[in-house]
Amino acid sequence: MKELIKELTEAYGPSGREETVRKVIEDKIKPMVDKMEVDSLGNLIARKKGPGKRVMLAAHMDELGLMVTYIDKNGFLRFSNVGGISPHILLGERVVFANGAVGTIGCEKIESMKDLNFQKLYIDIGASEQKEAEDQVKIGDIAVYQRGFQDLGRRIISKSLDDRVGCAVLIQALKEIESPVNDLFFVFTVQEEVGVRGARTSAYRIKPDYGLAVDVTRTGDTPESETMAVALGKGPTVKVKDTLIITHPKVKKIMVDAAERTGIPYQLEVLERGGTDSGAIHLSREGVPSGVMSIPCRYIHTPSEMVDYDDVINGVKLLKSILETPLD
């Protein structure tokens, strides 16, 4: 699966511009699904038919980005964030646009790091005047982190593990499930990072009986981190609550039972800030019992996110075990 994660994380795909990632996923899953379609917002919906309840699975394809807002006469680009990026991690960072244009991020003179904000930062693409910059990049174009996948053995570092690792878990589960007992809709969503938008419209279309998002979550296992009872390497999580959802007790029970039945390590997760696609799914139509399985991840939203490979493998196992449960 590492090859798959590498290919997915290295693909370009900020919110609203997910087509490259989507193409990678389409090519991989096409032979394994009964039906596949792209809806009007760009969500990829793949169905694997089964006799039971309609279950919607969601992992988001989009990653964070920097959108060009202004190009000055010397060819420097000003930008605004697409999704939750902190300006502090951007100093010296290298970014790449859809057309392959590369830039580095510089900063105006500041007295203190406390003064650092997006207004002080710019992207330098090596142009010496406005026209030369505009030949490569237009207002509204989006750059993403330019970072390669790094295999550390047990652990992996990459950009956009949030949530391409979730996409990889869905793809792998799709491969391994031959005759599902439930009617499965694997949805690779758009625009999660700017407000769970793709999940909202795809849930409306699918009308699921149950919803389950697969995404990353933070951990509390690094030096002086905020307390959180999630650590790398201790298994995927069963989310109990985040900012957008309180997991439906029935779904939580299904998940915990599935983990215990198959002896898969898992952790209970309460995420105090942040949310994911289930936030939209469970509020669709008249309400959909929903939950989230998370892969623990350090340094979320930085160019170097880290996950434990065992958690990914166990994530696939847990997802399969959940989906093998006959639901009523």
Print the binding letters for residues 89-108 with Co ion: x by CB under 5 A, - otherwise: --------------------
Q: Which is nearer to Co ion, 43 or 136 (CB)?
A: 43
Half-sphere exposure of 41 (CA within 13 A, CB side): 23
Q: Which of residues 160-199 bind Co ion (CB under 5 A)?
A: 162
**Residue 215 contact among Co ion, Zn ion, none, beta carbon within 5 to 8 Å by kind:** Zn ion
63 binds, among Co ion, Zn ion, none (CB under 5 to 8 A by kind): none
Which helix (DSSP H) or strand (DSSP E) does residue 236 occupy?
none
- Of 163 and 269, CB closest to Zn ion: 163
Residues that bind Zn ion (CB under 5 A): 162-163, 215
Number of residues that bind Co ion (CB under 5 A): 1
Task: Between 87 and 274, name the residue whose CB sits nearer to Zn ion.
Answer: 274
- Contact string 248-287 vs Co ion (x = CB under 5 A): ----------------------------------------
Q: Active-site positions? A: 192
Q: For residue 4, give the nearest of 144, 149, 146, 145 by alpha carbon.
A: 149
* 195: region left, alpha or beta (phi > 0 left; psi from -120 to 50 alpha): left
Q: Residue 162: which region, alpha, beta or left (left: phi > 0; alpha: psi -120 to 50)?
A: beta
Residue 44 DSSP SS3: strand
> Minimum distance between the CB of residue 193 and Co ion, rounded to whole angstroms?
5
- Residue 61 per-residue DSSP state: -
The nearer residue to Co ion, 62 or 308, going by C-beta atoms, is: 62
Partner that binds at residue 305, options Zn ion, Co ion, none, CB closer than 5 to 8 Å by kind: none
CB 324 within 8 A of CB 181: yes
Q: Could you give the CA distance from residue 288 to residue 209 in angstroms, rounded to a whole number?
A: 6
> Which residues of the shown chain bind Co ion in the complex (CB under 5 A)?
162
